[in-house]
Amino acid sequence: MYRFTVALVLLISSTAASWAQSPSPFDVSWLRPSIWKTQQGAVLKILSINSATGDFSGVFISSPSGPCPTVNYDVAGRIRGDRVVFQTTRGGPSDCALTVLWSGRAVSPGTVATRWTIKFTAPNGPAVAKRGREIFQRV
């Protein structure tokens, strides 16, 4: 019985220690104000983070080789542990007016893997939606 009690105490203490090490739902330490870059050269600048809610804001600068090179878009998003969701929007009559939604997760402290959906209106009028994947690396 003594061995069983000792084993049970060790099991409970190790479980409690592992819970203490897991990030809170609003752990923003891996994202903190920072600069991230994609493989195509787009830049994401995280300028402010609310650690109480996990909300963040910043600027996204489109790829220099894309259809709208180096255009600035406002970014708003939310982080929960290693998960992140953010959106860029740019309205107006410009050819570069669009909305992009990214969602993904941190795969390491300096790498975020995302999936994106872009919505825009084509020059001839119909709404267009495209999907893809993107990797962000901390600069």
Per-residue pLDDT reduced to its tens digit, 83-116: 999 999 887 666 788 889 999 999 988 999 999 9
Write out the residue range of the structural domain in which residue 105 sits.
Answer: 23-138
Q: Is the pLDDT of residue 32 over 90?
A: no
Tell me the per-residue pLDDT of 10-19, one tens digit each, with 9 for 90 and over. 434 443 343 3
Query: Does residue 35 sit within a domain?
Result: yes
Gap between the terminal Cα atoms of the chain:
56
Q: Please give the average per-residue pLDDT across 46-59, as a whole number.
A: 93
pLDDT of residue 49: 92
Query: Does residue 62 sit within a domain?
Result: yes
- Tell me the whole-structure pTM to 2 decimals: 0.75
pLDDT band at 28 (very low <50, low <70, confident <90, very high): low
Query: Does residue 77 sit within a domain?
Result: yes
Contact yes or no for 59/73 (Cβ under 8 A): yes
Q: Please give the average per-residue pLDDT across 64-80, as a whole number.
A: 90
Query: Does residue 9 sit within a domain?
Result: no
Query: Does residue 72 sit within a domain?
Result: yes
pLDDT of residue 9: 37
Task: Please name the residue ranges forming H helices in the chain.
Answer: 2-21
Query: Does residue 59 sit within a domain?
Result: yes
Instruction: Give the highest mean pLDDT range of 29-33, 64-68, 69-73.
Output: 69-73
Query: Does residue 11 sit within a domain?
Result: no
Query: Which CATH number covers residue 62?
Result: 2.40.128.30
Burial 82-108 (b: 16+ CB within 10 A, else e): bebbbbbebeeeeeeebebbbebebee
| The total number of structural domains that make up the chain | 1
